[in-house]
Amino acid sequence: MPATRGLESGIGKTFSSLRTRNFRLFFFGQLVSNSGNWLTNIAITLLVLDRTGSGTAVGWLAACQYGPILLFSIYAGSLADRMSKRKLLYWTQSLEMAESIALAVLAFLPHTPIGLFFAVAAIGGCLLAADNPARRSFVREMVSTEQVSNAVTLYSSMVNLSRIAGPAIAGVLVTTLGFGWCFTIDAASYVVVIVALVMMRGSELHPTPRGPKGRGQVRAGIRYIVHTPELAVSFGMLVVIGLLSYNFNVTFPLFVEKGLHGTATQYTLLYSCFSVGAVIASFIVARRARVTLRTIVLSSGAFGITLLALGFVPNVPIGYVVAAIVGGFSISYMTATTALAQLRADPQMVGRVVAVQTVLQLGTTPIGGPLLGWVADLWGARLPIIIGGIAALATFAVAWFAGRRRLTTSPVAEQQHEAAA
């Protein structure tokens, strides 16, 4: 049947990079580990909110978690360009397991000072700063050139799949067994990803050329981005969106518990709905043949509109529905930005380019997180969501009118065509 063959062809196109054994191992190992990570992210946020009742405290927790990315991630990207990403991941993933064990011990002990959780979160942020560029740039080494775009998008799908399972499980565990078990399960999940790394076949990897050693590598990476127009425009947009719109760890729990007067369980369910929308959108995006600056700009506009709508929902049930739509457009925007960054970058620069993207997406949280938490404490928990929507819309408007000439160019499509020729 033609319709059946078309469906099979569409499914095959969506999941094509999973035919590669090394990427398949990495994908499922990271799916388990990232689900565990979200157990920890949700649990430690709820723990701080439960003990302090302060939006500002939640913002400072986010600053501890992501501040090291702002300070160290670009240097870690330079390191990832100069050494084996697989070996680097052995170290970072093992140390992150130790961090989760430490959080579990602190949570099980009675009357642990809240400052110790902040300190361990900061250590985890340092590990994340080293791990993130290596993990994300390693994706392109597991698949052929023509599969990179699909692999990057499926990797984003995996991250969002983990956002469904992790928060949902956290909601159950926090209200039944307690915070400590969330951290314990997260620690155990790292075993899966480490085993997956061990099982990979080194002969089937596609290692990128090692970057040269020496001083000035970070500055060279930044200059490369500034002088590559597509990267400069998309990263300029990400500065604003990362700072004011992409602080979900801070804005969502405050919005549900203080803005909508919901419970911790309802917060985890809203985050899961957000992630369901993101997963559905990411599977649709995985079939996209072209990624252009226009894709990024239009996605940012849609993301801003839906985020603004979320800020005005009257109750939690409607919030679930709107959050799912926000999740869909947020992942459409972010995966397009990531795909353009990875495919447009020179192979010797990809680690540094991805590191800068990580800084702009997550490393701005130490500024935006406390700021939005403070705004929520003073003027209400809906306002940070509304600010995020306005920021994304303003970014869309500026990029659309200022960069109209570049919106239809597709360096990514050109590179894929050349690789296939």
Structure tokens at 373: 């938490």
- Would you state the pLDDT for residue 412? 44
CA 161 → CA 34, 38, 295, 319, distances in Å? 9, 11, 23, 20
The answer to the question of residue 115 being in a domain is yes
pLDDT at 306: 93
Burial of 2 (0-12, 13-18, 19+ CB in 10 A): exposed
Residue 86 located in a structural domain: yes
Give the number of residues written for the chain.
421
Reading the block at residue 299, the tokens are 């996605």
Give the pLDDT confidence of 342-353 residue by residue, as tens digits. Answer: 666 666 666 677
The C-alpha atoms of residue 211 and residue 75 are separated, in whole angstroms, by: 13
Q: What percent of the chain has pLDDT over 70?
A: 81
Residue 289 domain flag: yes
Supply the pLDDT for residue 76.
67
Establish if 23 belongs to a structural domain: yes
What residue numbers bound the domain in which 66 lies?
Answer: 17-201+216-420
Q: What's the number of domains the chain is made of? A: 1
Domain holding 41: CATH number?
Answer: 1.20.1250.20
- The span from the CA of 387 to the CA of 327, in Å, is 17
Distances (CA, A) of 414 to 289, 360, 393, 401, 418: 11, 26, 29, 24, 6
In a domain, 319, yes or no: yes
Angle at 112 between CA 109 and CA 116, to 5 degrees: 120
User: What pLDDT, on the 0 to 100 scale, is given for residue 383?
Assistant: 93
DSSP 16: G
The residue among 359, 7, 351, 337 whose CA lies nearest residue 152 is 337
Verdict on whether the full-model pTM lies above 0.85? no
Q: Which residues contact 191 (CB under 8 A, 6 or more apart)?
A: 97
1 domain-assigned:
no
Task: Indicate whether 10 belongs to any domain.
Answer: no
All residue ranges of the chain with pLDDT < 50 are 1-10, 408-421
Question: 10 Å Cβ neighbour count for 197?
Answer: 17
